[in-house]
Each structure stands twice: as C-alpha cells, then as structure tokens.
Amino acid sequence: ETPRPTDFIRQIVREDLASGRHAAIKTRFPPEPNGFLHIGHARAIWTDFGIAAEFGGWCNLRLDDTNPVKEDPVYVEAIKDDVRWLGFDWHDLRHASDYFEVLYLSAEKLIRQGDAFVCDLTAEQVREYRGNLTEPGRNSPFRDRGVDENLDLFRRMRAGEFPDGTRTLRAKIDMASGNINLRDPALYRIKHAEHHQTGNDWPIYPMYDYAHSLSDAVEGITHSLCTLEFEDHRPLYDWCVDKVDLARHPELVAPLTGKGLPFEASKPRQIEFSRLNINYTVMSKRKLMALVQDGLVDSWDDPRMPSLQGIRRRGYTPSALKLFVSRLGLSKQNSLIDFSVLENTLREDLDAHAQRRMAVLAPLKFVLGNLPEGHEETLRFANHPKDESQGEREIPFSRELWIERDDFAEVPPKGWKRLVPGGEIRLRGAGIARVDEVIKDADGEVVELRGWLDPESRPGMAGADRKVKGTIHWVSAKHAVPAEVRLYDRLFNVPDPDDDTDGKTYRDHLNPESRTVVRAYVEPAAALATPEQSYQFERIGYFVADRRDHRSDAPVFNRSVTLRDTWTG
Ligand code: ATP
Ligand code: MG
Ligand code: MG
C-alpha cells in the first residue's frame, strides 16, 4: 500500500480547491514527439495524470509538436501506449499544432499592441545582441518598427515569402532584464518544413515558451506542472498568457470552435518540480536515440534501455514504477537516485505478485538410479509461497532431472551447502537425493551425476523432514522445455556514464556484460506463460516472458532483476 502522497504541489492544489480558486483541476502531460519516453517521464506522468485523478479533475495528453523536423507519428503512438501502460488515460488528446491558427492570431494581437516586432537580425547577431549574465543586451535595430510594417512583414513570413532563418518575430520585453529569457525572446521562426500534422500549411513555427503557455491557456489548464529547468521561463510564460489574454479575447480562438475543439481559457499557473535522475543510466531522448542509431543496443525497446518501452520489455511492471515514483515524491531539489532503489522496488512488487517456477539455466543431468526406468509422476506445487489465492500447478517428476551445474562441486569450497560426491541434497518438493557416481568426459568435464532418491523422504512421508543441508531446484529432463533466456544487466558499468572528464563519453562506459544469452530448461508450466507474464525462477531471479519473441513452443525469457542486489553492499 502506498501512502497518500502529500507533496508541495498536491498541497497547492488542495488549497486552490478549498479556497474556490478553481472548481476543478486541469493538467496536461506535454511530451515532444521527438523520441520515446524514459523512466524520468514516469515521474511527470504520475504527477500530471495522478494529481488530476486524485482530485477529481482531468489531464490532457498534449503532443508538443512545434519542431517539425525532429518529430514523427511513430513517437506519438509509443507515447500513447506508454501512458496507457502506466494505467492512465487522457481527457483529450491534443497537439500544440491544433492551435497554430490561434497562436498566429495571438501574435498579430501582440504586434498591434506594440508587444512584438519582426527582427531581421541573423541568429548569430541575435546572440551577440543578447548579452550575457554580467552584461545587459542591446536593443535590436528593428525593435522600433511601426505596427503596420511589423504586421505586413509577419503576414509575409506566414505567406512563405522569406527563406529560413532570415527573420523572427520577437517579443518586446526588456533587453536589460536580469533574466535572459526576457531579452526580447523569439516567438516565431521561419522554417519551410513539412509537419506531421499540418503538412505544408506553415512556413513559420512558434517557439516553445510561446506555444506552450498559450496551449495551456487554451485548454483551460489550471496547474501547468513541469520540471525545474523551466523555472527561469516562468516570467515569459506569464507574460505570454497575460499579454494575449485569451480569456477576454474569444475572437482569437474562433478557429478552434470551427474545428469542434472545446475552448475553456484559463490563467494557468506553472509549478516546477525536480527531474528524476538515476545513476548507472542516461536519461535524455537525444542520448537514447544515439544508443540506438550507433547500434549499441538493438532497438528502442531493447530491455536494457531506460525508455519506458525498454523497461517494459525488461519486465518492469506499472505498479513497481508507480510505487517507485510515489515513494520518491516531488520536491524542488534535484537529486540522483541510486539504480538499486528502482531495482528493489521491482523486486518488492514481483516478490509479492509473481508466481514461482523452476528453470535450470546451466543444466547438468542427474539420474536417480533407484527409480525404475520410465518412472514418471506428477507433483503439485504452490504458485506462491505467501499467497494461496495464486493456486497450485502440476510439475512432472521423473528418473532423470536437470539441475544447475553450479549446485554440484567435486571439491567443495568452505561452507558449501549443496551437492558433493556422496553427499545429500533436498530436491525442492520431491525428496532427498544422494550423488553416488560422477561421470566425466575425456577432458575431465563432469557431464552427468548418478545417484539415489531416498524413498522414505518423499513429500508427506515421515522421512521427508529429515535434516539435510541444502535445497536445490530441478526440472524433469523428459518434460523440460528448452528456452532462450536473456540475462540482462545494467547497460552502464559506472554510476555516472555522463562524466566526460578524461575525454570519455557514455559510449565508453557500456557494460560488456549487459546481455548474456543462455539455453535453459524450464518446467512445462513456465513455457505456458503469456507474453509479459512475470515469474520468479526459484533461486535465480525474476524473469518475464518476452513481449515480442516468446511463444509457448519456443519460450523466451528476459531477466528483469536478480534476486539480490549484486552491485552494492
Ligand atoms: P529529454 O530532455 O529527455 O528529451 P524533455 O524534457 O525534453 O526530455 P519532454 O518530451 O519535453 O522531454 O517532456 C515531457 C514532460 O516530461 C515535461 O513536462 C518534462 O518536464 C517531463 N520530464 C522529462 N524528463 C523528466 C525527468 N527526468 N523527470 C521528470 N520529468 C521529466
Ligand atoms: Mg522538451
Ligand atoms: Mg529535451
């Protein structure tokens, strides 16, 4: 059970509802469809959708698609899939591009009010004029253009008369502001590029701050929740909302009413929270994209990727992720979370919910010579040791078993509790066995064990409780199903893969052992898994039937996480 979260944003929301400032809470999750979502986005999704749901409001999914060249509908579909996977649903699916006409009309309004001007400086000149933290900027020589000239030029920008980068529309704010975002920021740029939603309708595209703030206002968003890097943009956000003032200018949103989109104008409040950062990984869409493009991982949903598609395929569950982000909560303080915290949350979730199965990853034959040739029986095992409601399953048992090679030692190290020549072991749920003979090949490699099953030690018998040192898992050789098991580990082998001192990049810190593939044997009931079903393979770890490749007649399992942390303490 997760306690009801009480972070500072929820506190603000609670007060805004209590005071009657808002009758209902409206939020949005605004990813740019230029890549796949990652674990960090789970915090934003849990915040935006979670808060709306907790307080009986709603949350829109808004694709922030103002960069036509970097965006693609493939990402839109993946984002929708990820949000639903986490168990959330949107009130409306919107695109910032739905508002291009509104944004354009609003820009003309800003020009008429004397709050925006067309600037002919090149990008490089704009940078020069902008100044820096210690030096105020200088006014553009085009800043005092008259309204008519500005309107004419802006309309011609819109008509496609000018080449890319030759002009911008800029807000007229304050070139001496201590906040560089307020030094006459660009509102529009010229870009002759096809857009995945609007085709070739627009040769100009709105800039992020302008489009984002007004999209929030158009949708009636009450609380615009975002990460800390936007804190310095908040004054510009407020400037855009106030200067355009959609709530009092319904004529600006007429194009939407025509499209059948509801319009509810609000004065949204931006509130920032810290980004989720985790060590042993990189979390930026750009870097994740590079890993795929450079062939360092197989795909976007490679189970080693920190993309939501990747960790889903790895076997992370929505409940584990939600537990993880809700425990961390929200704050204004950036911090770095240890990867083991994420892994422990998954262990906790799977320990409570995943059924148990037996699988042998490095098989060694063990023949119980005192059982008759062809002996077969069916045992019943509980699916979960702590949860009877998970029921039972049947496990075939026979004379020849597969056990783990590692569970036998000819010359045991100190403290060894498993099989040795002449020694006894408990075969999980089947009885006590002894090794009498070790068969080796010409190279001296152990290829088979032969032994004896104590007939008095079978389940339910008096001798079953006799004390032996260890218990091992096994599968019946005749009934075992061969399976491909992919043993995944962390993608990076250093806590800070982004550390670039001594000229390295995250590419130099890839863990060469992040994936090992083995041929294993699993019990028949494991093979029957449906894709994405998770199990604990007893004594080994947590595994998931691969979402894409698993079939009951050709099982494929991914290791989600080991039973215990092998990286720290
Ligand atoms: P990236 O830099 O990884 O590409 P982004 O911030 O550009 O991410 P967007 O698609 O713009 O990604 O993000 C959508 C929402 O998710 C934004 O509100 C953003 O603040 C939030 N978000 C992105 N990364 C994180 C993170 N690591 N932790 C919490 N929220 C995040
Ligand atoms: Mg972004
Ligand atoms: Mg980004």
| All residues at 6 or more sequence positions from 55 whose CB lies less than 8 Å from its CB, including other chains | 13, 14, 17, 25
Binding residues for ATP: 32-34, 227, 275-276, 283-285
Whether residue 284 has its Cβ less than 6 Å from ligand 1:
yes
The answer to whether residues 174 and 71 belong to one domain is yes
Handedness of CA 20, 31, 181, 11 (dihedral sign): positive
pLDDT of residue 532: 98
What is the reported pLDDT for 2? 56
Does any ligand 1 atom lie closer than 6 A to the CB of residue 30? yes
Indicate which residue of 14, 32, 400, 428 is catalytic: 32
Smallest Cα–Cα separation from 436: which of 448, 427, 418?
Answer: 448
- Domain identity same for 160 and 213: yes
β-pair type (541-545, 534-537): antiparallel
- Domain end: 273, 303, 324, which one? 273
Q: Which stretch of DSSP H or E encloses residue 475?
A: strand 475-476
Task: Return the amino acid letter for 257.
Answer: T
- Report yes or no on 557 lying in a domain: yes
Q: Does 312 lie in the same domain as 351?
A: yes
Is the same domain home to 264 and 398? no
Helix, strand, coil percentages for the chain (3-state, nearest 5):
35, 25, 40
Q: With respect to residue 521, please indicate whether it lies within any of the assigned structural domains.
A: yes
Q: Is there a single domain that holds both residue 430 and residue 409?
A: yes
Reduced to 3 states (helix: H, G, I; strand: E, B; else coil), residue 346 is helix
Strand partners, 379: 395
- Compute the distance from residue 244 Cα to the ligand 3 centre, in Å: 27
Q: Which amino acids are annotated as binding site for L-glutamine, given as ranges?
A: 64, 208
Name the closest-CA residue to atom 12, ligand 1. 31
Distance 325 CA to ligand 1 centre (A): 14
Would you say the CB of residue 342 lies under 6 angstroms from ligand 1?
Answer: no
Mutation probe of ligand 1 site: the residue of 37, 43, 227, 229 with most atoms within 8 A of C-beta: 227
Which regions of 284-413 does DSSP assign to beta strands (E)? 335-337, 355-357, 359-360, 363-368, 376-382, 392-398, 400-404
Instruction: Identify whether residues 496 and 552 lie together within a single domain.
Output: yes
Distance 34 CA to ligand 2 centre (A): 9
Distance (angstroms) between ligand 2 centre and the Cα of 356 equals 41
pLDDT score of 567: 75
Q: Does ligand 1 lie within 6 Å of residue 559's CB atom? A: no
Residue 156 falls inside a structural domain? yes
Q: Closest residue (by CA) to atom 14 of ligand 1? A: 31
Two structure tokens written together for 467: 């004390």
42 touches ligand 1 (CB under 6 Å): no
Catalytic residue among 130, 285, 314, 434: 285
94: Cβ–Cβ under 8 A, 6 or more apart, which residues? 28, 60, 61, 62, 63, 215, 219, 261
Tell me how far apart the alpha carbons of residues 191 and 67 are, in angstroms, rounded to a whole number: 9
> Ligand 1 in contact with 212 (CB < 6 A)?
no
Assess whether the C-beta atom of 449 lies below 6 angstroms from ligand 1.
Answer: no
Which of 395, 456, 461 has the alpha carbon at shortest distance from 424? 456
- Tell whether ligand 1 has an atom less than 6 A from the beta carbon of residue 44: yes
**Domain at 162, CATH number:** 3.40.50.620
- How many Å lie between the centroid of ligand 1 and the Cα of residue 357? 38
DSSP 420: -
**Among the three residues 425, 455, 473, which one is the final residue of a domain in this structure?**
473
| Separation between Cα atoms, residue 416 and residue 451, nearest integer Å | 19
User: From residue 241, how far is each of 102, 206, 224, 245 by CA, in Å?
Assistant: 13, 15, 12, 6
User: Is 285 considered catalytic here?
Assistant: yes
Angle 219-223-224 from CA coordinates, rounded to 5°:
75
pLDDT at position 507, please? 86
Q: Does residue 300 lie in a domain region?
A: yes
Distance 31 CA to ligand 1 centre (A): 7
Question: What are the φ/ψ torsions at residue 305 (nearest 5 degrees)?
Answer: -75, 140
Ligand 1: which residue has its CA nearest to atom 9? 31
**pLDDT value of residue 568:** 65
Ligand 1 atom closest to the CA of 39, numbered from 1: 27
Q: Are 491 and 297 in contact (CB under 8 A)?
A: yes
The residue whose CA has the least distance to atom 22 of ligand 1 is 41
Query: Looking at 273, 296, 314, which one is the last position of a domain?
Result: 273
What is the best residue among 27, 34, 41 to mutate for testing ligand 1's pocket, by most ligand atoms within 8 Å of CB? 41
Is the CB of residue 287 below 6 angstroms from any atom belonging to ligand 1? no
Burial state string for 164-194 with b = 16 or more CB within 10 A and e = fewer than 16: eeebbbbbbbebebeeebbbbbbbbbbbeee
Number of domains the chain contains: 3
Under 8 Å between Cβ of 192 and 203: yes
Closest by CA to 42, choosing from 86, 93, 8, is 86
pLDDT the model gives residue 24: 96
Closest ligand to 67 CA? 2
Q: Is 555 a domain residue?
A: yes
**41 CA → ligand 1 middle, Å:** 6
Q: What is the CATH number of the domain that holds 513?
A: 2.40.240.10
Q: By CB neighbour count within 10 A (0-12 exposed, 13-18 middle, 19+ buried), where does 494 fall?
A: middle
Which H, E and C letters describe 192-232, residue by residue? CCCECCCECCCCEEECHHHHHHHHHHHHCCCEEEEEHHHHH
What stretches of 460-530 show up as alpha helix (H) in DSSP? 524-527
Query: Which of 80, 191, 275, 458 does the annotation list as catalytic?
Result: 275
Residue 253 in tokens: 């949103």
34 lines ligand 1 (CB under 6 A): no
Say yes or no: 123 and 245 in one domain: yes
Q: What is the separation of C-alpha 251 from the centre of its chain, rounded to a whole number of angstroms? A: 41
> Which atom of ligand 1 sits closest to the CA of residue 276?
28
Q: Which residue type occupies 532?
A: E
Question: Is the same domain home to 181 and 207?
Answer: yes
Q: Is 63 in the pocket of ligand 1 (CB under 6 A)?
A: no
Q: Residue 72 belongs to what domain range?
A: 8-273
pLDDT recorded at residue 569: 47
Question: Is 80 a catalytic site residue?
Answer: no
Query: What is the DSSP code (8-state) at residue 450?
Result: E
2 within domain boundaries = no
Residue 32 among the catalytic residues: yes
Same domain, 238 and 117: yes
pLDDT by residue, tens only, the chain of 569 residues: 455 778 999 999 999 999 999 999 999 999 999 999 999 999 999 999 999 999 999 999 999 999 998 888 999 999 999 999 999 999 999 999 999 999 999 999 999 999 999 999 999 999 999 999 999 999 999 999 999 999 999 999 999 999 999 999 999 999 999 999 999 999 999 999 999 999 999 999 999 999 999 999 999 999 999 999 999 999 999 999 999 999 999 999 999 988 888 888 789 999 999 999 999 999 988 899 999 999 999 999 999 999 999 999 999 999 999 999 999 999 999 989 999 999 999 999 999 999 999 999 999 999 999 999 999 999 999 999 999 999 999 999 999 999 999 999 999 999 999 999 999 999 999 999 999 999 999 999 999 999 999 999 999 999 999 999 899 999 999 999 999 999 999 999 999 998 888 888 888 899 999 999 999 999 999 999 999 999 999 999 999 999 999 999 999 999 999 999 887 64
Provide the H-helix boundaries in 455-557.
524-527
What is the torsional sign of CA 435, 438, 439, 441?
positive
Residues 394, 345: one domain? no
Residue 1 falls inside a structural domain: no
Within-domain flag for 106: yes
Ligand 1 close to Cβ of residue 32 (< 6 A): yes
What's the longest Cα–Cα distance across the chain? Answer: 102
Full-model pTM: 0.94
Residue 371 burial (10 A CB sphere; 0-12, 13-18, 19+):
middle
Are 345 and 403 part of one and the same domain?
no
SS3 288: helix
Q: Which ligand minimizes its atom distance to the CA of 48?
A: 1
Q: In what order do the strands lie in the sheet with 93-95?
A: 26-29, 58-63, 93-95
Beta strands 26-29 and 58-63 are parallel
Place of tokens 């995944």: 488
Q: Which residues contact 15 (CB under 8 A, 6 or more apart)?
A: 21
The reported pLDDT for the residue numbered 263 is: 80
Ligand number nearest to the C-alpha of 227: 1
Question: Same domain for 431 and 514?
Answer: no
Q: For ligand 1, what atom is nearest to the CA of residue 43? A: 29
